[in-house]
Amino acid sequence: MSQNITDVLMVGATGSIGQLAVRAAQRHGLRPRALVRDVRQAEQLLPGVELVQGDLERPASLRRAVGGADAIVFTHGSGGDARPDARAHVDYGGVRNILQALDGARPRVALMTSIYATRSDIPGATPWKRRSERLLRAGGLPYTIIRPGWFDIAGPTQRRLVLEQGGTADGGISRDQIAETLVRSLLTGTALGKTFELIAAEGEEPSDWAELFGVLKSDESGSVDGVLDPADLPIEDEPRRVRADLESVRFLRGTSG
Ligand SMILES: NC(=O)c1ccc[n+]([C@@H]2O[C@H](COP(=O)([O-])OP(=O)(O)OC[C@H]3O[C@@H](n4cnc5c(N)ncnc54)[C@H](OP(=O)(O)O)[C@@H]3O)[C@@H](O)[C@H]2O)c1
């Protein structure tokens, strides 16, 4: 079942996917509110869009941003950040800090992570996006987690969306279709509680979003992993602070009315 959604906090709104997600939200009659670090720069990129200043690494700056949001779309990323621990601080820490700022509110969430999020066999892979997904599942909010394929690979005739589960998908997808899928997931009941990889193949755009999401398996209730995810990152082997973060968001679940 879909919640009534009007106000949507867009995290990463100035990014290459975030800007398109803001436009997609507007197209669907939603009221996007963009979380931005630099208001002046954002005014140029997102004219006419409500802006709220905040930094994902500064938890106190996030409370105002999340207030009253019916939904949250996460498209943030640490791509331009050269710090070796940027993924932990931004990709993962940003999700943790937003969840902790919610103060009992239960917005619908669409989280963009990445293809290969569970692939520990890929050189240079880190588990931070997977860990951010785990926080969201543990937090008990209504969610959809979308792991898009490579942004700049799909050609103009590759518009048929292919949704896969289990972490082995590979392929590209255009940025506008990622943005559209994130927003559609908020508005489509059959996307609730699901995690999937998203790529595009030769063919037409989807017309029946309920069916597209509906054929997917739901994540198992109580599990921190996506359905069919490999069981190669046991919680008990996780760093102490990661386990503590999971406990903190589970606690929020317990206290949210
Ligand atoms: N490239 C691919 O093919 C591919 C495929 C799948 C998934 N991905 C994932 O997609 C993400 C990149 O998406 P994109 O191209 O849209 O990213 P992007 O253009 O680099 O945008 C990143 C967004 O995150 C925001 N951000 C970063 N640190 C922040 C902080 N501390 N507080 C608030 N906002 C912050 C940025 O805000 P500012 O404007 O203030 O910097 C910006 O809005 C990456 O995480 C990547 O792993 C990429």
Model confidence pLDDT, tens digit, residues 116-140: 999 999 988 999 999 999 999 999 9
Ligand 1 atom 18: the closest Cα is on which residue?
A: 15
Which residues are near ligand 1 (CB < 6 Å)?
12-18, 37-38, 55-57, 75-80, 90-91, 114-115, 148, 150-151
> Which of 76, 114, 119, 133 to probe ligand 1 with, by most ligand atoms within 8 A of CB?
76
Token representation of residue 209 = 């979003």
pLDDT at 21 over 80: yes
- Which residue puts its alpha carbon closest to atom 12 of ligand 1? 77
Q: Residue 255: what pLDDT?
A: 60
Cα of 150 vs centre of ligand 1, distance in Å, is 14
Chain centre to alpha carbon of residue 135: 11
Has residue 204 got a pLDDT over 50? Answer: yes
Give the distance (Å) from ligand 1 centre to CA of residue 75. Answer: 6
Distance of CA 137 from the midpoint of ligand 1 (Å): 21
Residues in the chain: 257
Span 65-115, pLDDT tens digits? 999 999 999 999 999 899 999 999 999 999 999 999 999 999 999 999 999
Contact in structure between 173 and 147 (CB atoms under 8 Å): no
**Position 42, amino acid:** A
Q: Report d(CA 154, CA 98) in Å as an integer.
A: 32
pLDDT at 1 over 90: no
Domains of the chain: 7-255 (3.40.50.720)
Indicate the pTM of the whole model. 0.98
Percentage of the chain lying above the pLDDT 70 cut = 97
Assess contact for 182 and 75: CB atoms under 8 A. yes
Q: What is the pLDDT of residue 253?
A: 76
Query: Which residue type is seen at 196?
Result: F
pLDDT digits (tens, 9 = 90+) for 42-72: 999 999 999 999 999 999 999 999 999 999 9
Q: How far is the CA of 74 from the centre of ligand 1 (A)?
A: 9
Task: Take atom 29 of ligand 1 and give the residue whose Cα is closest.
Answer: 56
What is d(CA 172, CA 199) in angstroms, rounded to the nearest whole number?
5
Question: Phi first, then psi: what are they for 23, rounded to 5°?
Answer: -65, -40
